[in-house]
């Protein structure tokens, strides 16, 4: 039996209106690419990124024993480290130290500073990085080798833990910090309703937790019916597992956190929803036609 409400829901889901929670300018870059791909979106950053280091702090790290590797986890890590002390000086002081980037964007940022060789994994995350031959304990002896991870303040511990388990000494340089914006549901949700937002891009567990907290306040105020009224775009299995603990079921998991992976997943989902909608419409028309013939 045809269900008009389910057909309407499929039609609405095929028309994705996306909230981007990344900070600026990364959020604006994704928004521009989404527009080019035919998607409507708004930027709804939940935090801003600020400097968290100094030239003296960088100097203290560089004046230790020669590091085996510098690992940069994000474009922001590169940006603020470069502002503190140009990265070409890092390379001049330690010419044998290898530079690693977690993803392609971070690699491009490092190359743009003048670093002439950067290693990055095809799988753009910590797990991909750990699988690289220079960091693989089967291929490379890491015991006692110093690895500097350049990241944000209070970042994820997984990468450092795994490297320490492989015998490496790991130090952090927290070159930036996240400052959460003081948002509330009363301010945010009218913007979302005006833009017909039905899809949210989430690129970290911290963003997921903060967004669920905001929307839960909207549920209490009756401006949001259900968290699963939104389609949640999450960029890793790790985030998806956390989403499941928060009772989120309407999820799309992208291959990685890159703009291209997010757009590819959205495009695939949109096509799937359109096909479902068209199928239901065709079935409905066939059913109505059959009724007309029976009644004639």
Over the stretch 76-107, which tens digit does the pLDDT of each residue have?
999 999 999 999 999 999 999 999 999 999 99
pTM of the model: 0.82
Q: How is residue 154 annotated by DSSP? A: T
**In the predicted structure, residue 192 carries a pLDDT above the cut 70:** yes
Tokens of 278: 């068209």
Kindly tell me the sign of the dihedral angle through the C-alpha atoms of 209, 214, 215, 219: positive
User: Given this model, what pLDDT does residue 280 score?
Assistant: 63
Specify the 3-state DSSP secondary structure of 170: strand
Domain spans, the chain:
4-46+183-284, 49-179
**In the predicted structure, residue 149 carries a pLDDT above the cut 50:** yes
User: Given this model, what pLDDT does residue 62 score?
Assistant: 92
CA 263-264-268 angle, 5° bins: 115
Dihedral over alpha carbons 142, 146, 147, 152 (to 10 degrees) = 150
Tokens of 92: 């001049």
Distance CA 166, CA 278 (A): 53
**In the predicted structure, residue 273 carries a pLDDT above the cut 60:** yes
DSSP-H helix ranges across 143-258 = 158-165, 185-194, 205-220, 237-245
Distance CA 208, CA 252 (A): 14
User: Given this model, what pLDDT does residue 278 score?
Assistant: 66
Distance CA 256, CA 234 (A): 9
User: Which whole number is the average pLDDT over 16-24?
Assistant: 95
- CATH class, 4-46+183-284 region: alpha beta
Dihedral over alpha carbons 38, 41, 43, 45 (to 10 degrees) = -110
Closest residue by Cα to residue 94 from 130, 120, 60, 70? 70
Q: Name the percent of the chain lying above pLDDT 70.
A: 88
User: Which whole number is the average pLDDT over 2-6?
Assistant: 48
Q: Indicate the fold that domain 49-179 takes in CATH.
A: Rossmann fold (3.40.50)
Of residues 283 and 13, more confidence is placed in: 283
Q: CB count, 10 Å around CB of 89? A: 15
Distance CA 24, CA 77 (A): 15
**In the predicted structure, residue 74 carries a pLDDT above the cut 50:** yes
> Average per-residue pLDDT in the chain?
88
Q: Name the percent of the chain lying above pLDDT 90.
A: 72
Closest residue by Cα to residue 251 from 270, 271, 230? 230
Of residues 33 and 275, more confidence is placed in: 33
Position 155 confidence tier, pLDDT thresholds 50, 70, 90: confident
**DSSP bridge pairs for 20:** 43, 201
């Amino acid at each position: 039996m045809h269900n008009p409400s389910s057909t309407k829901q499929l039609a609405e889901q095929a028309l994705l209106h996306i909230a981007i929670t990344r900070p600026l300018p990364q959020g604006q870059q994704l928004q521009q690419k989404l527009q080019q791909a035919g998607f409507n979106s708004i930027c709804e950053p939940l935090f801003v990124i600020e400097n968290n280091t100094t030239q003296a702090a960088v100097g203290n790290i560089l004046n230790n024993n020669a590091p085996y590797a510098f690992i940069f986890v994000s474009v922001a890590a590169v940006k603020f480290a470069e502002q503190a002390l140009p990265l070409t000086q890092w390379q001049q002081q330690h010419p044998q130290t290898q530079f690693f980037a977690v993803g392609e964007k971070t690699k491009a940022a490092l190359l743009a500073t003048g670093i002439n060789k950067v290693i990055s994994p095809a799988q753009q995350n910590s797990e991909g990085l750990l699988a690289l031959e220079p960091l693989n304990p089967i291929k490379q002896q890491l015991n006692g080798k110093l690895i500097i991870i350049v990241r944000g303040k209070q970042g994820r511990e997984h990468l450092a833990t795994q490297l320490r388990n492989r015998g490496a000494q790991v130090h952090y340089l927290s070159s930036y910090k996240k400052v959460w914006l003081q948002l509330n549901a009363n301010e945010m949700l009218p913007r979302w309703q005006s833009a017909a937002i039905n899809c949210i891009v989430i690129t970290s567990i911290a963003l997921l937790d903060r967004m669920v907290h905001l929307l839960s306040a909207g549920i209490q105020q009756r401006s949001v019916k259900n968290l699963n009224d939104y389609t949640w775009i999450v960029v890793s299995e790790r985030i998806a597992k956390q989403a499941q603990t928060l009772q989120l079921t309407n999820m799309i998991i992208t291959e990685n956190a890159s703009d291209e992976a997010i757009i590819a997943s959205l495009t695939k989902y949109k096509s799937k929803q359109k096909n479902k909608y068209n199928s239901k419409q065709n079935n409905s028309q066939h059913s109505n036609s059959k009724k007309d013939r029976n009644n004639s």
